[in-house]
Chains A and B, each alone.
Chain A
Amino acid sequence: MIPPLIVQTAIENGINLIAITDHNASDNVTAVIKAAEHEDLTVLPGMELQTQEDVHVLCLFDTMDQLDELQTLVNINLPDIKNNIDVFGEQFIVDQSGEFVGRNEQLLITATRLSFEQTFQVVTNLGGLFIPAHVNRQVFGLITHLGFVPPDLAIDALEISRHITPEEARKEFPQINAYRLIQSGDVHFLDDFLGVNQFLIEKPTISELKRAFRDEADRKFSIQSHF
């Protein structure tokens, strides 16, 4: 997916806030931010980090500096294995128009040595938003791997996959009942955009998103059903 098409497709879907969350990587985030510069679309820098327990978590930030700090930590916590292009495919880095810039040689598809708790602490201390991804999924989902949400962490929201309604998810997994749920498309292809998360906030920042999850000061959050 090249940056201008991501931006264009998001806008066509009526979306005005997205986050770029590549797997353990952030090489392409700046390109998308630049591609959206003159558009009515905010792009938050992020990452889908795979913890030591094979749980995928979304780490969202306001600035590239915050994300770069997380990336530095991720890099030293990935195993020293090169990507095998034949098996796992290319890991291209592109510029804002989608032109080839280089390849990320590190194997990204695997787990970091960062635990779920460590990741939560690091992301929170950096001022980011920590959202366990597709928690209902059998593979790389929090519920399968860890059974339930570790109770001692102030987690703002959990993400459910596109294949289930929030009501079904809560019924099937009562252990997520105490948490706000977001729903995203896990967009790997342009057809995957969902755009069902609705925030009533002052500006598209991490602190405003957090306030919306907590229903603070007239901020609101809801999921509009796509079924």
Chain B
Amino acid sequence: MQLSEIIQQLDLKVLTEPQDFSEISVNSGYCSDLLSCVMTGAEPNGVWITLMAHGNIVAVAALLDLAAIIITEDAQPDPDTIEKANEKGINLLSTSVPNFTVVGQLWELGLRATQE
């Protein structure tokens, strides 16, 4: 699934520098607010859904080579975090709805937990 489709269908706000999101392929989804779990649970090229906006999320996403982070409930990463994400090429996306809703919407689009 293209990241551009997810952004459009879920009406996500792009916090980092815009790019050609149709070039980015998303293979799976993972949802948790505990970064230690994400480090062992999320998969490369996956999208991670969380309301954690702390700066450490960028390092975790870079470590795992994630396609994007969807930050929920309008949680706002600070400017340093967004800058760091731009440096590392991590896409930060934002929505006002909670984790549950985002996961449901992604499931309906056909995204699943693990890479098939």
Main secondary structure of the interface of B (DSSP, over half): helix
Q: Which residues of A contact B52 (CB under 8 A)?
A: 53, 145
Shortest distance in angstroms between B83's beta carbon and chain A's nearest beta carbon?
A: 12
Interface status of B78 (Cβ within 8 A of chain A): yes
Tell me if B78 and A145 are in contact (CB < 8 A): no
Interface status of A76 (Cβ within 8 A of chain B): no
Shortest distance in angstroms between B40's beta carbon and chain A's nearest beta carbon?
A: 10
Number of interface residues of B (CB under 8 A): 14
Interface centre among B35, B36, B59, by most chain A C-beta atoms within 10 angstroms, is B36
Q: Which residues between 141 and 192 of chain A lie within 8 Å of chain B, taking CB atoms?
A: 143-148, 150
Interface status of A115 (Cβ within 8 A of chain B): yes
Tell me if A145 and B34 are in contact (CB < 8 A): yes
Tell me if B35 and A147 are in contact (CB < 8 A): yes
Shortest distance in angstroms between B43's beta carbon and chain A's nearest beta carbon?
A: 16
Q: Which residues of B contact A53 (CB under 8 A)?
A: 52, 54
Tell me if A115 and B54 are in contact (CB < 8 A): yes
A204 CA to B35 CA, complexed, in Å: 36
Tell me if B36 and A147 are in contact (CB < 8 A): yes
Shortest distance in angstroms between A112's beta carbon and chain B's nearest beta carbon?
A: 14
Tell me if B56 and A147 are in contact (CB < 8 A): yes
Tell me if A146 and B35 are in contact (CB < 8 A): yes
Tell me if B54 and A116 are in contact (CB < 8 A): yes
Q: Which residues of B contact A117 (CB under 8 A)?
A: 55, 78
Q: Which 7 interchain pairs have the tightest Cβ spacing?
A: A147-B35, A144-B36, A146-B56, A53-B54, A147-B36, A144-B34, A146-B35
A-B contact pairs, 25 of them (CB 8 A): A52-B54, A53-B52, A53-B54, A116-B54, A117-B55, A117-B78, A143-B36, A144-B34, A144-B35, A144-B37, A145-B33, A145-B52, A146-B35, A146-B54, A146-B56, A147-B35, A147-B39, A147-B56, A147-B59, A147-B60, A148-B35, A148-B56, A148-B59, A150-B55, A150-B56
